Amino acid sequence: MSGLLLNEQIYLDVIQWRLPSVQRFLWIFTADIKDLHVQRHGRFVPLLDILAERVRAGVEVRLIHAKEPGPRFRFDFDRHRELIESELFERILCPRMHMKILVGDGRWVFIGSANLTGAGLGAKHPDRRNFEAGWLSEDPAVIAQVLEFADTFYLGDHCRTCRLRDVCPEPLA
């Protein structure tokens, strides 16, 4: 299955259905990150609650973003010891990160315009959300290509020649 997802379809298919059901790994690449809330069991909770739940279930989560998140995100983040202490959770800051990609278990990839924010991917009212578009794919060739690129990034291959290294808080290489 591959196809275009628009606006609320992204939230419903990727954030509500796919993301909470990953079993092995979840990689999230985004430029901006804010206090994103999602509907879960009849109430709205921070996405960080779901990421912490996945880490407790043994899922490896990588969150790679371009700038420091806001205070509400940091407050929610600090409530989750498993996100701070577990080797299964990694948060990487890269000032050049502008991709918006989610990869789940190597079984699906979503590539789109939306940042990891309430207006982009969260449970905002349809009349308050950003207009977003993205492509969801379960094609093994597409997923392999994204995973290969993600691995070269994660291993720091791009850090060696990066011209923003002087402003990078933690170069990977």
78-115 confidence digits (pLDDT tens): 999 999 999 999 999 988 889 999 999 999 999 999 98
> What pLDDT was estimated at residue 154?
84
pLDDT band, very low/low/confident/very high, at 48 (cuts 50, 70, 90): very high
Kindly indicate the confidence band of residue 49, based on its pLDDT and cuts at 50, 70 and 90.
very high
172 part of a folded domain: no
Position 104 in a domain: yes
Q: 78 in a domain, yes or no?
A: yes
Mean residue pLDDT across the chain: 91
Confirm whether 37 is domain-assigned. yes
Token readout for 156 is: 């720091």
Q: Helix, strand, or coil here: 54?
A: helix
Answer whether residue 38 shows pLDDT above 80. yes
In this structure, is residue 173 part of a structural domain? no
Distances (CA, A) of 164 to 33, 99, 115: 20, 17, 21
Question: Domain for residue 28, yes or no?
Answer: yes
Say how many domains are in the chain: 1
CA 169/CA 29 separation, integer angstroms: 17
**Residue 45, in any domain of the structure:** yes
- H-helix or E-strand containing 140? helix 140-154
* CATH number for the domain that contains residue 70: 3.30.870.10
Domain that holds residue 18: 2-167
On whether residue 162 sits in a domain, the answer given is yes
